[in-house]
């Protein structure tokens, strides 16, 4: 197998993740995913009705366990403070009188332990961004309606009026079938990224758009607006992990409006 002529070009490990990072997802990926998750309960219900015999019994037991876990989780979230009753503390050498057998003390115990709260706080600090909130943009500010057809009656095409990022080797669709047009003049491949600890700015290649707070559609199209989280190539900075491996890509948040400034300015996230 190793001597095979195509062994060196066969896909290895994270080729799907690398493909998504390079070319992105289809514009309606997150919409389709949300609808698929919304349809999931109906599919589960239909499966529970159609399964019979031993398979039906096994599936019912599985669903029963899942429902118990779900109810426990809901109850834990709803009851932040639960009152648990504990017996009145007594000395070991004293017997509890008959009239105190049923008497108990109400103590308030927190269901969420301090360890869980600390983990949540650490996670919040880890994923904190320089710009936590951004102003929403209407669709008319990002998309311009392009009329097509012989008499210009068709209006299903849109031109992106904001800065965008497209992967290396991107090829446009034929003009007849292209719905979203991203002009060449508004495409950016590099960003001016500031390192918070070093206080220096570097020009780094953009690897992809991780999250656009405006809409999942803009994330798929690679639209760069203020507050967008992008992934940049930091291999030239010499950053290493605790295990000694070189960090190849890190996230950064766009802090300006690229369509007005002509450049993409960003701050490296911790």
d(CA 13, CA 253): 28
Residue of 27, 29, 9 lying closest to 181 (CA atoms): 27
pLDDT at residue 238 in the model: 84
Listed in sequence order, the residues at least 6 apart from 117 whose beta carbon sits closer than 8 Å to its beta carbon are: none
- Looking at residue 126, what is its pLDDT? 64
pLDDT at 108: 47
Judge whether 158 and 143 are in contact, CB under 8 Å.
Answer: yes
Q: What is the pLDDT of residue 8?
A: 55
- What is the structure's pLDDT at 245? 86
5 CA to centre of own chain: 39
Can you tell me whether residue 8 is helix, strand or coil? helix
pLDDT tens over the chain, length 270 residues = 455 555 556 656 788 888 898 999 999 999 999 999 999 999 999 999 999 999 999 999 999 999 999 898 888 877 655 555 555 555 556 677 777 766 655 444 455 566 677 777 777 766 678 888 888 899 999 999 999 999 999 999 999 999 999 988 888 899 889 999 999 999 999 999 999 888 899 999 999 999 999 999 999 999 999 999 999 999 888 888 888 888 889 999 999 999 999 999 999 987
> For tokens 């220096």, what's the residue?
200
pLDDT of residue 82: 54
Contacts for 200-203: CB closer than 8 Å, 24+ residues apart:
202/236, 202/237
Torsion from C-alpha of 70, 73, 74, 75, nearest 10 degrees: 120
Longest dimension (CA), the chain: 100
Judge whether 191 and 252 are in contact, CB under 8 Å.
yes
Residue 186: closest CA among 147, 225, 233, 145: 225
Q: How far apart are CA 215 and CA 108, in angstroms?
A: 43
| pLDDT value of residue 132 | 85
Q: Which residues contact 180 (CB under 8 A, 6 or more apart)?
A: 27, 143, 157, 158, 159, 160, 221
């Amino acid at each position: 197998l190793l001597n095979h002529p195509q062994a060196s070009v066969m896909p290895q490990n994270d080729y799907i993740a690398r493909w998504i990072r390079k070319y992105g997802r289809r514009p309606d990926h997150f919409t389709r995913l949300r609808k698929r998750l919304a349809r999931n309960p109906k599919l589960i219900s239909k499966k529970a009705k159609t399964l019979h015999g031993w398979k039906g019994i096994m599936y019912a037991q599985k669903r029963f366990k899942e429902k118990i876990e779900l109810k426990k989780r809901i109850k834990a979230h709803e009851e932040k403070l639960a009152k648990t009753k504990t017996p009145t503390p007594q000395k070991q050498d004293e017997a509890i009188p008959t009239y105190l057998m049923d008497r108990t003390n109400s103590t308030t115990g927190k269901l969420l332990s301090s360890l869980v709260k600390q983990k949540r706080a650490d996670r919040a600090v880890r994923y904190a961004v320089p710009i936590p909130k951004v102003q929403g943009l209407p669709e008319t500010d990002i998309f311009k309606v392009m009329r097509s057809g012989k008499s210009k009656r068709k209006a299903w095409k849109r031109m992106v009026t904001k800065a965008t990022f497209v992967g290396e080797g991107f090829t446009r669709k034929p003009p007849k079938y292209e719905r979203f047009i991203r002009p060449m003049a508004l495409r950016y491949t590099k960003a001016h990224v500031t390192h918070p600890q070093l206080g220096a700015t570097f020009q780094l290649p953009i690897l992809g758009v991780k999250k656009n707070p405006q809409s999942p559609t803009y994330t798929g199209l690679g639209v760069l607006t203020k507050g967008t989280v992008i992934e940049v190539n930091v291999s030239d900075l010499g950053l290493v992990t605790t295990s000694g491996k070189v960090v190849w890509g890190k996230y950064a948040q766009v802090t300006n409006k690229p369509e007005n400034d002509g450049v993409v300015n960003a701050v490296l996230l911790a």
